[in-house]
Amino acid sequence: MSTPWKCSVLTLFPEMFPGPLGISLAGQALKDGLWMLETVDIRSFARDKHRTVDDAPFGGGPGMVMRPDVLDAALTTAIAQAPTGAAAIYMSPRGQPLTQSRVRQLAAMPGIVLLCGRYEGVDQRVLEAHGIEEISLGDFILSGGEPAAIALLDAVIRLLPGVMGKVTSGEDESFERGLLEYPHYTRPQEWQGRTVPEVLTSGHHDKIRTWRHDQAVRITRERRPDLWQQYAGKDQPKGKKD
């Protein structure tokens, strides 16, 4: 059996894991040994009797900042126990947006070390000292990095070999080909006066593929013009641009 993909999560709330990752596809894959999860309680690396992990920010301002000495001890331990070549990531709203391309890259690595921040964030020096990559789920704020870490892990785990029952099941999903996904329909063929597009019941596979592509193009243009510009700007044979 191949070595399982390993994730180490550094958090103040280890009880939040595996959470939803313990059920459905990810949960079954965890039981089957396709990936493994280790939670590292950051507070266990605090050096005082109160297990203090944060302090007031230099320069003033609201909130508290997670201490670099405590985080360094936790990160040093986790990174030393991680597979060689594992990525070290801090979930942060100021990070680079998570993309499906980056998800595929992470799934191809032997594992990751995920740092979940709390309060106003973490001391910048510890990020620089360990060369940690910052990743964001989007332009919004969460109460901590744990929900973001769970979302990232869910995206990665489903791409690990053997997790999805059918290798091609994810190929047409949103972002995989640079476009949002086309609409889906199932039985009954007529529901509340609404019918399934005739092309989908025609049995003509080439026409179905064309319809699905055209729908993906339309939806991407309407809903995500930024993605459409990227897709339309790719090198395509002359006369073949959508």
Q: For CATH 3.40.1280.10, list the domain ranges present in the chain.
A: 5-157
pLDDT at 171 (0 to 100): 60
Strand partners of residue 89: 114, 133
pLDDT at 175 (0 to 100): 72
Topology (CATH) of 171-232:
Trp Operon Repressor; Chain A (1.10.1270)
Low-confidence ranges of the chain (pLDDT < 50): 168, 237-240
**Best CA proximity match to 111, nearest among 88, 86, 93, 131:** 86
User: Do 25 and 82 contact (CB within 8 A), yes or no?
Assistant: no
For residue 149, the one-letter residue type is A
Global pTM? 0.88
Q: Which pair of tokens denotes residue 145?
A: 């990095």
pLDDT at 174 (0 to 100): 59
| Alpha carbon 65 to chain centroid, angstroms | 25
Give me the long-range contacts of 99-107 (CB less than 8 A, separation at least 24): 99/175, 100/155, 100/174, 100/175, 100/176, 102/135, 103/152, 103/155, 103/156, 103/159, 104/159, 106/152, 106/156, 107/5, 107/156, 107/157, 107/159, 107/160
Q: For CATH 1.10.1270.20, list the domain ranges present in the chain.
A: 171-232
Give the burial class of 220: count Cβ atoms within 10 A of its Cβ; 0-12 exposed, 13-18 middle, 19 or more buried: buried
Per-residue pLDDT tens for 26-54?
999 999 999 999 999 999 999 999 999 99
4 secondary structure, DSSP code: P
Say if residue 62 is preceded by a cis peptide, omega within 30 of 0. Answer: no
Q: Look-up: residue for tokens 């399934």?
A: 196
Q: Does the domain made of 5-157 have the CATH classification 3.40.1280.10?
A: yes
Distance set, CA 97 to CA 91, 121, 148, 152 (Å)? 10, 17, 12, 11
Q: Which pair of tokens denotes residue 175?
A: 């972002």
User: Do 82 and 6 contact (CB within 8 A), yes or no?
Assistant: yes
